[in-house]
Structure 1
Amino acid sequence: MYPSFKTKLAIALSIAFLCCSYFANAQNVVKTIKGYIRGVSEGGITVFKGVPYAAPPIGQLRFKATQPHQAWRDTLAATEFGSNATQASGGAEDCLTLNVYTPKADNAKRPVMVWVHGGSMTSGSGKGQNGHVFSNDDGIVTVTINYRLGIFGFTYLDDVNKAYAGSGNNGVLDCIMALRWVKENIAVFGGDPNRVTIMGESAGAKLVSAVLVAPSSKGLYQQYIAESGSVQCVRDINTAKAERDRILQQLHLSKNDAARLLTMSADSLMKAQAAVSAGVTGLLFWGPVNDGVVITNDPYKYAANKKLPAVKALIGTNATEATLFMDRYPALKAPDTTVLRALFADLAPMVHNTLLKNRETLQPYDAAAKTITEYMYTIHNYRWAKAMVNAGIPTYVYRFDYSDDALGAAHAREMPFVWFDPTSKAMENAEKRLLAINMHKAWVSFIKTGNPNVAGLPQWPLYKTTIKPVMVFNTTSRITNLKTVFDDPHFPSTVMVFKQ
């Protein structure tokens, strides 16, 4: 007896469905150098989540330099985000994963952007930013990464045991390992390993800047975007030791007992971290080290010696960065020397002198906002722009001025404009939406071509040390040629110093 027409139709539809499912799943599977991984179709693109780019830094690898991940046999399901790095809100030490958002896993050689998140070097994760924003409509393969934070990522132990050389830069080494993974694997995700932009904001900007001055990162990227941060996080060895010793004191350990950090619970270490970096101190306490191992020189000397990689750069700050922190920590609204010492450590007297001068012409709140913004961000942004230009790096500089509330153009306020989501209700206002469209287009253009100039914005020239042209983003964006920029010749290249 032959099958009926309905039966034949059902069989045909089932076969078609299975074929479609097979090809869809096949499209979501790629072969990395360590093994196959399977992603998930999401919003019209393919996303691979929680992909390990390095060995878990646990057990004997805690506080050690980033190590390669072992290969795996079976196809790895990359359908869920990995654990956040250990932080106050939770997380795990086994955290070295990344996420890839790609329009299509093919051979198209699309531009690649690697995002390094912010969070004072103690919080955040790669999944905190939506990679769809640059991949869905802009055709950019977007990679977001996790890296070791706080005590796990930036504790200097080189003088304790040479096996831990570079430990004060483990967060930097994690970023470099992720970039190496991108170099070796991104082609199978439809990306071009020779068109990679590293991009970060706040602590992320400081980290990608530290990567820039780490010799082992050369050749892994071609462009660099730093929003509200440059090399001011790179501290000297004495400061790194002093910060480490504060951790040991909290744990009632001496330097000779530092090896016990390897076996103590993560919870115990996090309690010590919270104690030494409580309040405003935590804003600047953690960061990379000029250790002679990973970072081999003062960043400005490194640049002056023409050691920087041949990249293109886009950097900038927000007009009133400090008001975000003043809102969170009211003591900063009219800070005394004690509060400034908690923030800048032994550099506080220099900051206080400038604060007093600013109070002669400004109200206390405005004087604090101006002074803290200048010493935390502005001075370093323009110093670093000058250093890069003098080193032959084509550099575009911006300033974000837009404000719609009392905080003004505070720290991180540019983020939703750069990461413009057309469906966001926060951007329904026509004024904000137009600014977001233009800023996002400029960033996309830079990632794709190395040039942020786009229709809808004034012509944006390269920064020069004489003319100093800066793109000012506001309701009406414009180019301003700065005659002078704030600088304090007595203030060092780093933003927090402990003189022991």
Structure 2
Amino acid sequence: MDIFETKNGSVRGFRASADVVAVLGIPYAAAPFGAGRFREPRPVSPWDGIRDGGRFGPISPQSARLPGAPVWSPGDEDILTVNVWTPEPGASRLPVLVWIHGGAYTFGSSAQPDFDGTVLARAGLVVVTFNHRIGFEGFGHVPPGGGPAHPDNRGLLDQVAALRWVRENIAVFGGDPDRVTVAGQSSGAASVACLMAMDRARGLFRRAVAHSPASPCYTHDIAAATTREVAAAAGCPATSEGLAAATPQALVAASDRVVDRYRSDPASGSRHYDPSLYAPVLDGDVLPADPLTALADGAARDVDLLVCSTTQEYWLLDAVGSSAKVTTERQLDRFARDFGLPEGLVAGYRAALPQAPVLDVYLSVFGDLLFGEYGDRLAEAHTLAGGRAFLSRFDRRRTGPDTVVRAWHCADVPFAFGNLDDERLAFLIGGAPTAADQDLSRRMVRAWADFAATGNPGWAPVGGAATEIHRWATSPPDGADELPAVALRALWAKADFPVLRP
């Protein structure tokens, strides 16, 4: 029997494959509700007997229904759990990869089929995924009241608690607590960057992987204004007492109503285009500075960093209907004003894509604004401060008789995890994987495993006369819609990051 003795009690795993054992739903902190709601994560109580690790734990409050993933049900409270995949028991001191899911800080969970750790474990890693608080529960600002403190960035504090659980327990699963790599995608990748900037996470990981890190951070004023909007939509006072009296379900529904208002109002400013209400808050405590500034100041120069962006990030958000449509030159000009983009930037993209419709120009600019340019700057700032960073681009595309699957946001994740054969991920990769797809996935899995083990993914780090940006693809570029990366990056030179606009 595959039984593991953690600090809080025994857990039983199951065979995810002939050579990999998985243990799911292990609590790493107490349920963050009741007296613990809106507070720092609290220690979990030990349990007697052997806890079954055969199923994922409940997910954080949200309204999303994602393919192949569980949905949140009101009353699900024990949401702070980790999942572990380990090679054949008996191994020891293996490198560890800890994954933080994305979802605009509002949706998602560790139970998504993309994140099954079996293939990566087979490559020689101990893989850990976990749930943390998202939406208002994890990132909403709660004004001070007469009771216990309600810190900002509770979702980040959960992540730190999960990493502490890894440090204390991963050896019993064959992992090396001194060789931990923290990784994530989108808001999960931005969380990785935040952890690199946080004193509370210092020493809990040695390497970091950020796939499509999202750029926004919010000031205290922006976060407080969002709280007032959500409280009004929920029909409760914007006070600690009023918010605590509102159920998680009520705050999820209220957040969705606020998002819908932004979506339907083109005059509502930058949030109209992609109304993400929640992001890490620059509170001067949990998150003392935005990650870009912190990395430039050398906050994590001893952590190796691997950054990957996709070449067509924002096409996914358009395809799933979460982004406003911009199809006229007038709308495009308004978009540039709403985000305060430097003069000439959009014109430069127009010149680089002379035959493209306005929508494609908009998607190209927005993808670089939120993901691509920000990721490049993180890697470069880290390098200039004395750290070591690697850059890569995911550019695998697929054309079929009825559809085109682009190198869009999230498409790289199934390849890096080695989970191409799961039919629930067909939308991301465009159907059944080809032999070339499988080969690409094997190369990406190997690069992640090597980076976690040695700090070297297989290509040269940023720096020197010719920085190598590794390209992940199944075929050479055809030039049809290739953007001149060097010229376009020059257009961003005067743009301010991080993106702080509400």
**Which among 141, 149, 166 is matched to residue 156 of structure 1?**
141
Normalised by the length of structure 2, the TM-score is: 0.84
Residue 421 to residue 301, structure 1, CA distance change in 2 (3 Å): closer
Per-residue deviation, 1:335: 6.6
Residue 260 to residue 335, structure 1, CA distance change in 2 (3 Å): farther
* 1:302 matched residue in structure 2: 294
Higher mean Cα deviation, 86-95 or 382-391? 86-95
Counterpart check, 1:68 vs 2:43: yes
* 2:10 matched residue in structure 1: 36
8 A contact 1:335–1:368 mirrored in 2: no
Distance, in Å, in 1 between the alignment partners of 2:34 and 2:311 is: 44
8 A contact 1:223–1:312 mirrored in 2: yes
Distance, in Å, in 2 between the alignment partners of 1:374 and 1:40 is: 42
* 1:192 matched residue in structure 2: 176
Per-residue deviation, 1:471: 0.5
Counterpart check, 1:130 vs 2:130: no
Per-residue deviation, 1:158: 5.0
Residue 47 to residue 58, structure 1, CA distance change in 2 (3 Å): same
| Cα deviation code 1:234-267 (max 9, x no counterpart) | 2221221121121122123444x34221122222
* 1:239 matched residue in structure 2: 222
Equivalent pairs counted in the alignment come to 459
Counterpart check, 1:409 vs 2:384: no
8 A contact 2:57–2:79 mirrored in 1: yes
1:151 partner letter: F
Distance, in Å, in 2 between the alignment partners of 1:153 and 1:282 is: 20
Query: Does the residue aligned with 1:461 lie in a helix, a strand or coil?
Result: coil
8 A contact 1:108–1:190 mirrored in 2: yes
Instruction: Flag as ranges the 4+ runs of structure 1 deviating above 6 A.
Output: 335-341
* 2:247 matched residue in structure 1: 265
Counterpart check, 1:365 vs 2:363: no
8 A contact 2:190–2:210 mirrored in 1: yes
Query: Does the residue aligned with 1:76 lie in a helix, a strand or coil?
Result: strand
Per-residue deviation, 1:159: 4.5
Higher normalized contact order (CA 8 Å, seq sep 6+, divided by chain length)? 2
Residue 340 to residue 71, structure 1, CA distance change in 2 (3 Å): farther
Per-residue deviation, 1:62: 0.9
Q: Percent identity?
A: 27
Per-residue deviation, 1:481: 12
Could you tell me which runs of 5 or more consecutive residues in structure 1 were left unpaired when the two chains were aligned. Answer: 1-24, 454-459
Larger Rg: 1
* 1:430 matched residue in structure 2: 435
Distance, in Å, in 2 between the alignment partners of 1:107 and 1:469 is: 35
8 A contact 1:324–1:407 mirrored in 2: no
8 A contact 2:156–2:191 mirrored in 1: yes
Residue 434 to residue 172, structure 1, CA distance change in 2 (3 Å): same
Distance, in Å, in 1 between the alignment partners of 2:381 and 2:147 is: 33
Per-residue deviation, 1:301: 2.9
2:409 partner letter: H
8 A contact 1:374–1:486 mirrored in 2: no
Per-residue deviation, 1:282: 5.6
Distance, in Å, in 2 between the alignment partners of 1:337 and 1:246 is: 29
Per-residue deviation, 1:339: 9.1
Counterpart check, 1:327 vs 2:319: yes
Could you tell me which runs of 5 or more consecutive residues in structure 2 were left unpaired when the two chains were aligned. Answer: 65-70, 264-271, 424-430, 478-482
8 A contact 2:342–2:492 mirrored in 1: no
Per-residue deviation, 1:161: 6.1
Residue 409 to residue 422, structure 1, CA distance change in 2 (3 Å): closer
Per-residue deviation, 1:41: 2.7
1:468 partner letter: T
2:397 partner letter: S
Normalised by the length of structure 1, the TM-score is: 0.84
| Cα deviation code 1:283-318 (max 9, x no counterpart) | 532111110110112323322332225111110211
| Cα deviation code 1:381-417 (max 9, x no counterpart) | 1111111101222111001111114352111111222
Per-residue deviation, 1:133: 1.8
8 A contact 2:345–2:491 mirrored in 1: no
* 1:469 matched residue in structure 2: 468
Distance, in Å, in 2 between the alignment partners of 1:340 and 1:59 is: 48
8 A contact 2:126–2:174 mirrored in 1: yes
